[in-house]
Structures are given as structure tokens and as C-alpha cells.
Structure 1
Amino acid sequence: MDIRQLHSEEFDLSMDLSEYAFQYKLPSEKRANAKERFKAERVWGAFEEGTLEAKLTLLPFEVYIQGRLVPMGGLAGVATWPENRRQGHVAKLLAHTLQTMNEAGQTLSFLHPFLIPFYRKFGWEVYCEYKKYSIPVAKFPKKVEVEGKVRRGVIDIEVLDNLYNRFAVRYNGTLKRDLDWWENSVLDDEGQTAVFYSQLGEPEGYVLYKIENRELVIDEFVFLNEQARQGLWTFLANHDSMVTGASLKLVPSDDMLPFLLPDPRIEQENYPYFMARIVNAKAFVESYSFKRHNSQKKQVIYIEDKYAPWNDGLWEWTVSEKGAAAFLRIEGERDAADLSCDIGTLTILMFGYKRPAELARYGRVTGNPRALEWLEEIIPQAETALFDHF
């Protein structure tokens, strides 16, 4: 098997496989546009005797972790022909791209799974979930008078991006967007925008929405303070003569809207969303800011990682009084470890999606009581979210 990047003239090979695997058909005009935007160097294929058997796309992104940007490799469009399934093609592609990401300094990788158990085998783990709301008009938030105003139809990406970044930086795992991403993956011709401006003229929130079948479909709701949240909701509620209700999707899991409603008994759904994986444990841990404590401490952790052998094994983990870490590989057997977990579990611990104590209760992290207390002590509380899809 030959694993390599595709060439520009292999667009049709790639698209034919995508259309078959994901059961869609691009109209000729959209296919031509996709061909113009095709970045062959981002698509990796597994070839047998010159025939494309399987493929995936590796996207270069940055994501927010603890308010800092971290390089991330996003995997998308993982596909194989049905006659080639269960032959290890995708496994080899994933192992190859992990090596590629590691060499490129991408310390994290994200993907949206078609099947969560499949990708868990390779070290990815669910790191975030989103809420979805369906709110009838009668249960909309109350209309209130606020100082400031909403301007509809604002398409100034610089304004939207600034607000998005100030909102997204609160979470671990949110995407840093560039101009191309805004233009081609966030905004669309059918969507509407509205921005809330304070009394001083400062933008403080926005909403991306559309009206479909007498329903407000709210794709993104970003606010920096309560005044902006109330102002935007009053604007949306003023559509009450035009719609029967509203649906919101990709709402962060810590969102408090139902509690704030006059009647919080609305239709709600929590949905496990994207998966994440630490690509290079040493680089990621040593760039992380841990909680400050009174004395320098260290523990030995065993990480299980079959598909990224540079992570697999024993590590001496030291955290200084100021919260800086050193992560050094050491020789020894697994039973010498104070703590043990797989790479997916370490990922969600570091993201703050789950706490050490709760994972220890279910056997996802094992170790002696003092080491588990140390782990609980050093990892700060955090929330995770993702407002994008790829």
C-alpha cells in the first residue's frame, strides 16, 4: 500500500469517493467550485496498484486551550469504498496522519466521528457536547428595554470575528477562524446577521440566524455580557408575529438559557459532539498552565497509546510551585506508575471535560489515592465547546 498526498488532477477520484461514502451528489456548478477550492496537499490517500482505496483530509487549524492558541490537525472526510472496508486501510491512514501531525508540531487532533467507538480505538475521545433547544413563541425570553441597539445585516467579518474570539476564548477546544473559514464555512447567502451595540457604539454580541418554515433557526448566538444577551433576544422575540418558535443548535453545554426563561420547560437535547486527541503528550503537557501550589511535586504516569508510540510508556510528571510542568520519559514497567490512563482519557482530563475523581470512579484513570488527589489538585476547572463543523 502506498500512502501519499493527492495530486491536483486527482480531484475527481477524491470527490467520487466522498459522494459515494457520504451519499450525496454535488450539482455540476458546485462541483466546479469545489474543484477550484481543492487543496490536494491536504488530502491523503491509500493506494493499491494506483487505485485510491481510502482517503482523509488533514486540515491545519488552531484551537483555544486555556486562552492560548494551540496547533491542531483536523481530520475530515474519512472514507473508503465498501469493498475495501475492514482491511485496515483507514487504520494505516490514521497512524500515518498522526505521524504527519506530530512532525508538523500539531499537538492536538480533532474529528467529528461517524461512529464514536471506532475512533476511540485510535485514541480520540469525546471532548465536548452541545445543547439544542426548541422554544415556542409563548416561551420566548421576555422583551426588555436595554441601553443600546441591534443592527441587522452587519456582515463586517472583523467585527464578528472579534466578538467570536472574545467569546470562544472562554472555552477549551474552540476553533480560531480565519477569513476563508468565515466566508465559506460560517456565513452563507441564506443566513441573516444581527449585532448588538452598546450605548457607546461598541459591538457586544451577535446572532447568526435564518427563518425557515415559520421558525427562527439560530445558528450562532454570541454575547459578551447580559445586556447584549437581553438585547439580542428582544430583537429575536420581535419576530413573534412571523414565526411559531425558535431552534438553537451548537449551544455550549454550560449555557443557562432554560433557567433564565420564564418557563424553562422547553424541549432540550444534549448531544456528544467532536472528539479530540493529544498528538504529542510531552509538548502538550509542558505548554499547559497547571494550578499553583505550595511545593514542587511529581508523579509517574503510564500512558497507553498504541498508535502514537512516542507517547506510549512511563513519564515522570513534575509541576512546579508556579504551575509549570516538566514531562520526561523514563524506563520501567507499567506497575511502577503512580497513575495510569490511555491517551484519550488524558486528553479529556487536560481539556477539563471530565474531572480526575469522576473518571477514577469508573476506572478510566487508575492510581494510588495520593496521586489521584494530586491530579485533581493540579488540573484547573474548565469548560469545553465547539461552534464549528468540519
Structure 2
Amino acid sequence: MALPEKKDHHRSEERFSFFSSETQNTISSPTWDGLFPSGNLDHIFQEKTKQRPDPSRPVWWFDVRDATEEDVSQVAQALSIHPLTAEDIVIHEPREKVEVFKNYYLISFQTLVDNPKEEAERPGFPHPAEIYILVFQYGVVTFSPSGCQHITRVRERIRKMHDPLILSSDWICYALIDDIVDCFEPYTRAVEQESEAIEDQVFIARIDDVKALIPSVDALRKKITHIIRCLHGKVDVLNGFVKRCQAPDRLPVFPDGELLMYLGDVQDHLITTLSTLGHIDEIIGRSQGNCLAQLSATNLRVSLTINSALSKVTVIATIFVPCHLVTGMWGMNVEVPGQNDDGLGWFFTIVGCFVAFMVVCMGVAAKFKLL
């Protein structure tokens, strides 16, 4: 099988890498030709028909980072990959799933990668990206996004294996799934620590601090929801994968035996992580409720203070309005009592009446606790 002709790519980074258990080395290159100078892949990719397992045969692993449509087409041609699989990889199908074909099975998972642009727009929010794992009898093909460290970590884990005989294409698939689930652990610990800090601050914060806490609580709940959404699909995928592996009419491409214990361990870890996130979400929800309750109580106290002040102002205005009305009426072009008399007797009499009226009204208001 000759290597398909490849056009030049604008990017020069080493996007293609190939690992073989025979040499325990990883070869990286920006082009196919750099990995396979001979141009013939038959001695490596003999996966078109299902054969009996050969323990002595080396296991290979081919990874393509940020695959283009042309890259996917070349791999599909070389390994007889189904057109539906190639289409999912090209369009970056986000749905996590397990699909089985004649000579391989596909696992599509979402992982978290560092994205500077996403981090600048929404700090603390990991960027989800799709990783596709195609598992053959003696090899694995992965299509990974840039910023993803799973490939490097799993290859380092293979290098440190105490028993190389354990290595198989199914084990590589398990190790990738395990590493993808593990990558959520730092984010889980981070939100847990942040939730504990917020819970401590809620009961000792002043009113101005409580107002500042509300956006922090809201942002943290968004982070938790984002992580839970990324993990929920993996539960269904792993459950379906394990059921297919345990089925009596299990297809030959699926793993069996001891590898199911490894997958069960990943399931337990995933369930534990989701349980922890659910507990953290409850704590944050309670803290958010306490913050809102404190704000409501403070607003109620302020409202009562304002109403009390306004009621006093209203009573005082009610007392002064009749006096203002009387002075206004006699300020017009009408005869004022005592205007023809000499002295200030009438003036002090009228002012005294006003003062007496005010004193009586204020006494009545004080008796009924209106002042």
C-alpha cells in the first residue's frame, strides 16, 4: 500500500507522531514523509482483516494533532476507516460516543485544553476540545487537539510500565480515557477550594463585601456547571463501552479480561468526581442563598429607616402646612386684623397662636409615636 501523495501544509510544527513498542521510541514530524520515508505502510498498518492475536507482534500508536480534512482522508485511506468516522473527525463532532466497525472501534471524548483566547475572555474556564481514539487489533490512531498533553503523558506512562507484556492497543485506549478523566481533577480541587473560601467569607463579610461576593459565587457556579456538563457524557460512554465488552455476544474488536477492571476503576473515579462536584454545587448554592438573604435583610433595614424618616418629615410638613395656608391667605390684598393698631400686640398674638398650634400638634404626634 503506497502512501498517498500529500500536499504542503502551511504549518511546520510536528503534528504527526508515531510510537512503536518494538523500539519504545516516538518519531515526530510535520509531514507524513518524515515519519515513513519509504512511503509503504503495509508492514505497520496490516489491520484490514481481523486476525488471531499475536502476542509477539509490536503495538503501534499514530497520533495526528489538529488534523485537517486532508490528514483525515490520508489516514482513512491507509487504514480503511469508515466514511462516517472520517466525517465525525473532520467536522469535530462534539457528541461523546462509542462506535464499532469491522476492524476497529471508535471512542470520541471531550477533554480540556488551555486556550489563551478563551482564558482572556472567561478566566478560569477550561476550553473543551474533542479527541478521537480509533483502536485496532495491534494499534491505535488518535486525533488530538493542540494544547492537549494526554498523548505525552500516556507515552511516558508506557515507558515506565513494569510489565511490557500488558501493553496492547486496548490498554493504550484505557490509559487515554483514564488520563482524560484525571485532567478534570485539578479543576475539581480548584473549585472546591474556592467554594470553601467563599463559604467562610459569607458569614463574616460586611455588606459591601457581600455585594462583591455575589459575582464570585455566580462565576464559580458557572465553572462547576461547565465541568459537570463535560463529565456527564463520559459516564454514558463508559457504561455503554463496558456493557459491550461484557456482553455474551461480544464483538472481537472489544477488549475483555483484566482490562475491564481498569475500565471499572475509571468509572469509579468518574462517579466520585461527579459526586464531589454535586456536593460543591450544593455548598455554593447555600452560600449564594445566604448572600442573597443578607442583602435582603440589609435592604429591609434600610427601607424601614427610610420609611421612618419619611413619616417624620410628613408629620412635620402636615403641621406647617396650615400655618403656611393662613399666612398665605392674609398675605393677599385683604385687610389684616390689627393692621391699623399701633404696637406689636397683634403680631405676637398671631405668632403665639401659630406656636401653640405647632406645640399641640407635635404633642399629639409624639403621643401616637408619629415622631
More helix by share: 2
TM-score, structure 2 as length reference: 0.24
Decide which structure has the larger Cα Rg and report it: 2
Query: TM-score with structure 1 length normalisation?
Result: 0.23
More strand per residue: 1 or 2?
1
Which structure is richer in relative contact order (CA contacts within 8 A, separation 6 or more)?
A: 1
